[in-house]
């Protein structure tokens, strides 16, 4: 078996050559991603409803306050499990690499879209890695603190001082994860050609060359070794 | 036509023979959970209070029985585990509980049996109401009563998180929160609370807050004359005073009465959560969402260019685009 690729997943491959498209995420990962996304949106709406009275009307989306109260933690558990699957699939290529430091130091060029000035990158840039690790950390804090304040399940077993800290951390983490979520969606839209990676599963060769050149090189060299089409 | 009841000034009186209308109603509400800008009531009701004289309590639990009877609750029959508390704790069906403690007074070496009737203190500044996310689930009337409105309750348990006294209990049957109502339904028709009515030693008395403070002062003077130098009134200022007060023979040590809070107040953590976290959090999320949307709509995106596609095409065909001449279109 070939050695583990350094910048790509084994499944990433050239999908077509004229024009060039590259397979970035297969169906299971995409379904996994969208389930997580759906859960996060439901959690945001139901959580915000209980966060501030001005947003309490959002409980109407779920059939009232009582339903919102029991639904929110259950969806939270589904998100946690769904994200765990995603985590174990994605964590390896989200580990920091030496070129990340250079990329971060040239953040001005990143914002200007001046990609020629940036180092060549693998499957993920440091911004994407930040989103990944921030989501991971915040989801862990949210599930732990969320279970501690899950009245229906933990009832009166958790002491009140612990509940108070948990509810505060839960609220702060929720605010932060929504900011990360906004950053994630914004970056996916601003970097044109990215969304199709999570819809169709492929990106254009140009997109891969422009944003994740080491990733593309590794895949291209791997695919070139095989029998010609 | 029914007469309107008058505000009760004691729990000792018997009910009138004729039915009467409630003397206060929703128009007398001063605070509503998860609701901003509650209109100020047209009148201010006389502040009421229940006074529990711990030094007179004999631990008979008549107050508990009266509470169960009036509120038609059905506490579970539990196991006797060798303690006097029955049931073991406040429950959604037991709004008040005699808590017993055996305390050896280090000065006299006497064993003192301290019995405190636990239950909602009806804080002037209620932590439960501050924490509650459901509009209208908790209300406070201008006479000081803090009442739960179960039809608006969502069962989240935040009231318990906010309460400085660990009082509300959430039912695992209907997922709603319950606590002492101060018999708001009795008071509205001129009757004192059921527990006060039932108390055989008048350890529990009820009336206007001013009357109760005056009565407490007499009791404290009496206790001091009997050698309880530190007798005093428990009406903690940290929560703006309470509408259930205690006369304690050792008011300098409230914690000996089954951990009665020495200086109760709404936890700074709860205030931080309901205050700055909420305000700043919503502002930041709102700004980020609006900013990202506007920028996303009007700013130029990071577009893949034609020479990127050509470079990829060259690479996939097995050559390195960087080896060729560097201007786009030539590779």
- Per-residue pLDDT 10s for chain A (229 aa) are 567 889 999 999 999 998 999 999 999 999 999 999 999 999 999 999 999 999 999 999 999 999 999 999 999 999 999 999 999 999 999 999 999 999 999 999 998 888 889 999 999 999 999 999 999 999 999 999 999 999 999 988 999 999 999 999 999 999 999 999 999 999 999 999 999 999 999 999 999 999 999 999 999 998 765 544 4
Q: What is the pLDDT of residue B326?
A: 47
Closest residue on chain B to A213 (Cα): B312
Residue with tokens 């128009």: B27
Considering only CB atoms, which chain B residues are within 8 Å of A151? 155-157, 170
DSSP assignment, residue B302?
Answer: B
CB B87 within 8 A of CB B97: yes
Rounded Cα distance, B68 and B63, in Å? 9
User: Helices A126-148 and A160-190 sit at what angle, rounded to 10 degrees?
Assistant: 150
CB contact under 8 A, B295 and A186: yes
Considering only CB atoms, which chain B residues are within 8 Å of A205? 308-309, 312-313, 315-316
Tell me, yes or no, if A184 is annotated catalytic.
Answer: yes
Q: What is the pLDDT of residue A229?
A: 43
Rounded Cα distance, B98 and B308, in Å? 79
Q: What is the pLDDT of residue A113?
A: 85
Q: What is the pLDDT of residue B1?
A: 63
Q: What is the pLDDT of residues B183-225, one digit of tens each?
A: 999 999 999 999 999 999 999 999 999 999 999 999 999 999 9
For A175, the 3-state DSSP assignment is helix
CB contact under 8 A, A190 and B281: no
Considering only CB atoms, which chain A residues are within 8 Å of B160? 156, 160, 163
The first and second tokens of residue B168, run together, are 């509300």
List of residues 6+ apart from A55 with CB closer than 8 A: A48, A49
CB B191 within 8 A of CB B206: no
CB contact under 8 A, A192 and B35: no
CB B48 within 8 A of CB B209: yes
Catalytic position from the list A33, A72, A184, A212: A184
Q: Are β-strands A20-23 and A202-204 bridged in parallel, bridged antiparallel, or unpaired?
A: antiparallel
Q: What is the pLDDT of residue A126?
A: 97
Residues of chain B with pLDDT under 70: 1, 324-331
Which of B273, B277, B309 shows the shortest C-beta gap to A205? B309
The Cα of B281 is separated from the nearest Cα of chain A by a number of Å equal to 6
CB contact under 8 A, B152 and A65: yes
């Amino acid at each position: 078996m070939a050695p583990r690729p350094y910048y790509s997943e084994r499944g990433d491959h050239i999908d077509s050559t004229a024009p060039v498209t590259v397979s970035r995420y297969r169906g299971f990962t995409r379904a996994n991603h969208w389930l997580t996304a759906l859960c996060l949106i439901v959690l945001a709406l139901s959580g915000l409803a209980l966060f501030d009275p001005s947003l309490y009307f959002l409980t109407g989306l779920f059939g009232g306050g009582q339903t919102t109260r029991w639904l929110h933690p259950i969806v939270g558990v589904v998100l946690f499990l769904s994200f765990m699957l995603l985590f174990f699939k994605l964590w390896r290529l989200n580990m920091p690499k030496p070129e990340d430091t250079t990329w971060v130091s040239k953040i001005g060029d990143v914002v200007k879209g001046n990609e020629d000035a940036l180092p060549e990158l693998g499957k993920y840039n440091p911004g994407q890695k930040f989103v990944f690790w921030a989501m991971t950390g915040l989801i862990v804090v949210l599930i732990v603190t969320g279970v501690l304040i899950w009245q229906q399940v933990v009832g009166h077993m958790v002491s009140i001082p612990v509940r108070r800290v948990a509810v505060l951390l839960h609220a702060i983490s929720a605010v932060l994860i929504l900011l990360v979520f906004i950053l994630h969606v914004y970056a996916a839209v601003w970097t044109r050609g990215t969304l199709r990676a999570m819809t169709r599963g492929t990106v254009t060769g140009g997109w891969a060359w422009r944003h994740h050149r080491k990733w593309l090189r590794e895949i291209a060299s791997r695919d070139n070794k095989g029998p010609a089409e | 036509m029914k007469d309107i009841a008058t505000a009760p000034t004691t729990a000792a009186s018997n009910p009138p023979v004729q039915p009467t209308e409630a003397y206060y109603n929703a128009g007398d509400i001063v605070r509503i959970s998860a609701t901003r800008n509650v209109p100020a009531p047209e009148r201010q009701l006389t502040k009421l209070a229940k006074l529990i004289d711990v030094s007179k309590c004999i631990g008979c639990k008549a107050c508990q029985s009266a509470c169960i009877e009036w509120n038609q609750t059905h506490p579970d029959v539990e196991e006797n585990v060798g303690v006097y508390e029955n049931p073991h704790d406040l429950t959604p069906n037991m709004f008040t509980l005699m808590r017993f403690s055996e305390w050896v007074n280090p000065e006299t070496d006497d064993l003192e049996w301290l019995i405190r009737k636990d239950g909602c203190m009806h804080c002037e500044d209620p932590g439960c109401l501050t924490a509650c996310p459901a509009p209208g689930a908790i209300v406070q009337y201008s006479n000081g009563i803090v009442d739960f409105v179960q039809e608006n309750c969502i069962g989240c348990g935040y009231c318990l998180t906010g309460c400085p006294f660990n009082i509300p209990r959430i039912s695992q049957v209907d997922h709603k929160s319950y606590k002492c109502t101060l018999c708001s339904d009795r008071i509205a028709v001129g009757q004192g609370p059921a527990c006060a009515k039932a108390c055989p030693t008048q350890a529990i008395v009820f009336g206007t807050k001013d009357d109760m403070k005056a009565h407490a002062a007499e009791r404290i003077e009496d206790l001091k004359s009997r050698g309880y130098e530190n007798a005093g009134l428990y009406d903690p200022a940290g929560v703006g005073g309470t509408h259930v007060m205690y006369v304690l023979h050792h008011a300098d040590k409230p914690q000996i009465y089954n951990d009665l809070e020495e200086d109760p107040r709404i936890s700074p953590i709860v205030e931080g959560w309901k205050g700055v976290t909420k305000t700043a959090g919503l502002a930041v999320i709102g700004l980020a969402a609006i900013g990202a949307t506007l920028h996303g709509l009007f700013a130029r995106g990071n577009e893949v260019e034609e020479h990127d596609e050509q470079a990829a095409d060259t690479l996939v065909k097995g050559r390195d685009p960087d080896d060729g001449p560097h201007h786009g279109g030539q590779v």
